[in-house]
Chain A
Amino acid sequence: MFYREAGDFKTSYRDDGQTFPIRLDRWGYYAILAVAFLVVPLVIDSYWANAVLVPFLIYAIAAIGLNILTGYAGQVSLGTGGFMAVGAYAVYKLMTAFPGVPIVILIVVAGAVTAVVGVLFGLPSLRIKGFYLAVATLAAQFFLVWLFNKVPWFYNYSASGQINAPERTMFGWAITGPATTASAKYLTCLVFAVVLAWVARNLTRGSVGRKWMAIRDMDIAAEIIGVNPLTAKLSAFAVSSFFVGIAGALLFSVYLGAAEASEAFGINKSFLILFMVIIGGLGSIFGSFAGAAFLVLLPVFLKNVLVAQLGWPTDLAAHIELMIVGALIVFFLIVEPHGLARLWRLTKEKLRLWPFPH
């Protein structure tokens, strides 16, 4: 009834090609951005920031990164955790080496460092594909985590082997370190998430994104019509790792404050982000946000129900959570391999026709 495109005329190609072609969608998007930037920072408390919103935004960035590689370019990666570790340790080394440089710039540089490492580990993708590549990216996961655990230079020879984020400020606000307020954490992550999502959206609908999708759909055919697999695959690895690296840097510096490579960036992190991408929807920016929201909220929800309401022990709740997440993955793959993003699109189609579906 309200969700209509009638009267919404497009007079140029530019209008026709925009991300939100329906006016109501566009308004909704601006409204969400306004609430996220203007209202939420005022009302957020540390529980909501630490349990829900900050991890959601950080994982959404990582999920967009993996989605670029897996969903758009079709190269399955199980090394996300390792690349996040690169981002985290890079930002740590940069923070301690250049205390005067604004932290935001350092986080972006950490992303660039991760992009270089990603290209390095993406090189085998030119020779091998499919499962073989998926398993090959595990090499990155295990090797990088081992490296950060064993080489003391990376953690500045600290006795515990941990890295701790020193306090850094921007515009007089603490952004990292223990004194950071909930809204500062939230706003930092929000700015990164919004800017990166915008970048990803515009990359994927331009010529770069089309090359990635051509490689994904059939790499030999893509090569024959003139897509260079070398640049297409490696650029996908670079951009994806850049995003993942920024997510790792934020996770360590803004969210956790302290990290240990094998604990914070283990193989389970890789799988978690892969699941976010699958549940959200392969090849969809919105899906990355939806998947991240789903997998961040699910444990919080289950914990609230099982531990707080029913009074079950936390270890039991954790195991049941594993079962539920596992079963949900299988369920989603059976019912809707294209994830939440597809469900959302179908709902919108239905809404446009409602209440006269024929």
Chain B
Amino acid sequence: MEFLYASEVLVNGLMAGVMYSLVALGFVLIYKASGVFNYAQGVMALFAAMTLVGIMEGRVPFAHLINAAFGTHVSSFGWTVPALLGIALTALVMVGLAIAIEKLVLKHLVGQEPIILFMATIGLAWFLEGLGDVMWGADVKTLDVGLPQGISETAETLTNDWLGYGFFIDRLDIWAAVIAALLVAALVGFSQYTKQGRAMRAVADDHQAALSVGISLQFIWIMVWSIAGFVALVAGIMWGTKSGVQFSLSLIALKALPVLMLGGFTSIPGAIVGGLIIGMGEKLFEYFVGPLVGGATENWFAYVLALLFLVFRPQGLFGERIIERV
């Protein structure tokens, strides 16, 4: 029985890991294509989810600001938008955001040291966080795009028949795993079989060489940031449906960082495997060790695991070998 409990924890950890992988994926995409370590990925997920809720509920953007500045009392347009249309509109907003980031920030920082670019994305994260709150309000929003939630009876009866103990698995988690798999398949297909995808890989390989064969860096960057925005939207929908759209959603970015360290910053499979290991590891650690030390070990376990791991393999599981020359 103990073993079955543990394996239930394990399965749920794997499902949580899928969620981490989703966020980590956005990081890897941008890092590969533009060498930018995009700290704002988590806030982008939050911003996307907020925008989606705002559009679906027909809220007036900047209502709080308008009311404060002009003394009016606007809050809502009074219509609701169906989920699919809302998602499409939000995707458009994310593309607009990608263009704005490229034009206003990245273009001016070409050739700066990576650490400067990283700090710029921290600034970007603060800006987006403030913007999201000013645009849509800081209240905790519920997001419902029609994804099924609650315990999956099929999984429970199935495992009950096999093992004599019903596993508790959230249907949302199963959906998240399926959608993540589809997303990864789509991304791999895109980067392997389309012209733009090939250009993207060329840029990831070598900026200079890509430029010299006539690939527009600007276009590729906008495209990659748009894709990352779309991945953020998917992650935002999943996490938002699970635990409400609120500030803590942006903290998943911090959870995705150890995933990246474990998997390597440049590897898509690494992001997925890393996410699964972290998700599984932290749930099992919390289950076995958590009660002994007062719980809430999930806050730091991933980091310490990644840290210990890095000491032995500095480039992560699947990262490119680090070669240093003077």
- Which A positions have Cβ atoms within 8 angstroms of B? 76, 124, 127-128, 130-132, 134-136, 138-139, 142-143, 145-146, 149-151, 218, 220-221, 224, 267, 271, 274-275, 278, 310-313, 315-316, 319-330, 333-334, 337
Contacts and interface: CB of A to CB of B under 8 A. Distances in A.
Contact of A312 (B68, B120, B125, B297): B68
A329 B116 CA distance: 10
A319 B133 contact: yes
Contacts of A151: 294
Contacts of B109: 333-334
A329 B122 contact: yes
B126 A329 contact: yes
A127 B257 CA distance: 18
B138 interface: yes
Interface in B108-156: 108-109, 112, 114-116, 118-120, 122-131, 133-134, 138
Contact of B303 (A139, A271, A312, A337): A139
Interface stretch (B9-17, B215-223, B258-266): B258-266
Nearest to B133: A319
Contacts of B116: 333, 337
Greatest chain B CB density within 10 A among A134, A315, A326, A329 is at: A326
8 contacts: A124-B311, A130-B114, A135-B303, A150-B293, A220-B325, A319-B134, A322-B130, A330-B120
A228 to B, nearest CB: 17
A136 B307 contact: yes
A321 B303 contact: no
Given A142-B299, A150-B293, A313 B122 contact: no
User: Is the contact region of chain A dominated by helix, strand, or loop, or is it mixed?
Assistant: helix
Given A134-B118, A334-B109, A139 B134 contact: no
A128 B307 CA distance: 9
B257 A128 contact: no
Greatest chain A CB density within 10 A among B114, B296, B307 is at: B307
Given A136-B261, A150-B293, A320 B134 contact: yes
B64 interface: yes
Greatest chain A CB density within 10 A among B123, B125, B258, B306 is at: B123
Chain B interface residue number, banded: 35 or more
B254 interface: yes
A267 B119 CA distance: 15
A149 B108 CA distance: 43
B324 interface: yes
Contacts of B115: 76, 130-131, 134
A267 B314 contact: no
B324 to A, nearest CB: 6
B37 interface: yes
A221 B310 CA distance: 23
Given A142-B300, A323-B126, A327-B123, 4 more contacts: A127-B310, A267-B254, A329-B119, A334-B105
Contacts of A322: 126-127, 129-130, 133
A272 to B, nearest CB: 10
Contacts of A334: 105, 108-109, 120
Contact of B326 (A138, A218, A274, A315): A218
A267 B65 CA distance: 28
A296 B75 CA distance: 33
B311 A326 contact: no
A235 to B, nearest CB: 20
Nearest to A131: B37
Contacts of A323: 126-127, 130-131, 134
B52 to A, nearest CB: 19
Contact of A220 (B120, B123, B296, B324): B324
Interface string B284-297: 00000000011111
Contact of A139 (B108, B295, B297, B306): B306
A211 B262 CA distance: 31
Contacts of B65: 316, 320
A136 B310 contact: yes
A62 to B, nearest CB: 17
Nearest to B257: A135
A131 B128 contact: no
B296 A146 contact: yes
Contacts of A319: 130, 133-134, 138
Nearest to A262: B299
B304 interface: yes
Contacts of A337: 112, 116
B326 A320 contact: no
A132 B114 contact: no
Contacts of A224: 326
A326 B123 contact: yes
A326 B125 contact: yes
A328 B297 CA distance: 35
Given A316-B65, A329-B126, A142 B311 contact: no
Contacts of B125: 326
A146 B122 contact: no
